[in-house]
Amino acid sequence: MLTSKDYNRKIILEDGVEYYGYAFGDTEDKLCEIVFNTSMVGYQEIISDPSYTYQAVVMTYPLIGNYGMASEDYETVIPTIGGLIVREINDEPSNFRSERSVDEVLKAFKIPGIYGVDTRKITRSIRDLGSRKVLITNMSTSLEEGLEIIKNNEIPKDAVSKVSCKEIISYPGNNSMSSHPKKNLNVVAIDCGMKQNIVRSLTGRGCNVIKVPWNTTAEDIIRLNPDGVFISNGPGDPTDVVETIETIKKLIGKYPIFGICLGHQIISLASGAKTYKLKFGHRGGNHPVRNLKTGRIEITSQNHSYAVDNDSIKDTGLEITHINLLDNTIEGVSNKSDRLFSVQYHPESAPGPQDSSYLFDEFIDLMHESH
């Protein structure tokens, strides 16, 4: 049984507060942005979600690792999460599907972890003071040294280019999720850090998915002769991906377009709206969202730091379609005449569990109607 005198790892926050704990995963120093996630399950999907690049995630649920890690459940082949901060880590998972423990996976991908810290107190600190820089380091690093590192280093802004594919990758449609199979459609998916379950949600509905790098030009996408264009989720500030925004500007009106999370923000920026950074973001599996068209409440899975500015929607041609019931932020927009729509949350994460899957069906219908 470890005691306080055995502490071998700590985090230093930008405001000068330290939390002591124990090491798991990689043990190199790491500077990240600290955020929290309130999901009770799904830690493997969180660890492997490219949208967490350069972010250290505090899991509010106290026990992580109890069902291990399974190869079929990764959202990306190479996880790029900045770090994992938990109350208790279970390194002896009980699950017939488990292939490796969380500790083994974090070590393999050089991702630092720390456990034994007061995750409730850290979460309240993030809620009160906002997301900010954090250094995951060893006990030998003094507070003064840590703060100097934090002060003199910035979080990189190349997150999307880091996680996007480097060449075109094709996935054939299989109609596994469609009860009424139709002719397969060709969807060009702009990869800004695309989760694998988005690919499965499209191919399962009979779409041939052609995944292209984040900076693919509009001309190159047109040459692929798509039936529709999809913009994926991804990490960081949407205004950093200027090339993708410019590409969407040129494609609006030419094809049906659907965006999720970062893709939603990119569509909004390309339409003339603005985005801003939330104090601590939305990250969890139970965020209530109202569909303004139907009045229905959807339970959604979310992971984002930025939101679309309500006041900037005017004169863009966009209509607000979904609203977050916790803080009234925009959760969805559409433009019927340009055949585009987007949502800030993740329908492929199966919250609800099927509350939001209709969005993929709407995209399929929009592409068929455009023929």
CA dist 331 to 190, 325, 356, 364, Å? 20, 10, 12, 20
Burial letters for 152-181: b for 16+ Cβ neighbours within 10 Å, e otherwise? eeeeeeebbbbbbbeeeeebebbeeeeeee
Phi (first) and psi of residue 223, to 5 degrees: -65, -20
Which residue among 264, 287, 304, 346 is the active-site one? 346
Rounded to 10°, the helix 262-270/242-251 angle is 60
Which residue among 75, 261, 304, 331 is the active-site one? 261
Count the Cβ atoms, other than its own, within 10 Å of residue 324.
Answer: 20
Q: Which of 261, 4, 23 is nearest to 138 (CA)?
A: 23
Active site residue 261: yes
Provide the token pair at 51: 């949208």
| N-term to C-term CA, the chain | 66
Phi (first) and psi of residue 48, to 5 degrees: -100, 10
Alpha-helical (H) ranges within 131-238 are 143-152, 159-163, 196-203, 218-223
Residues with catalytic roles: 261, 346, 348
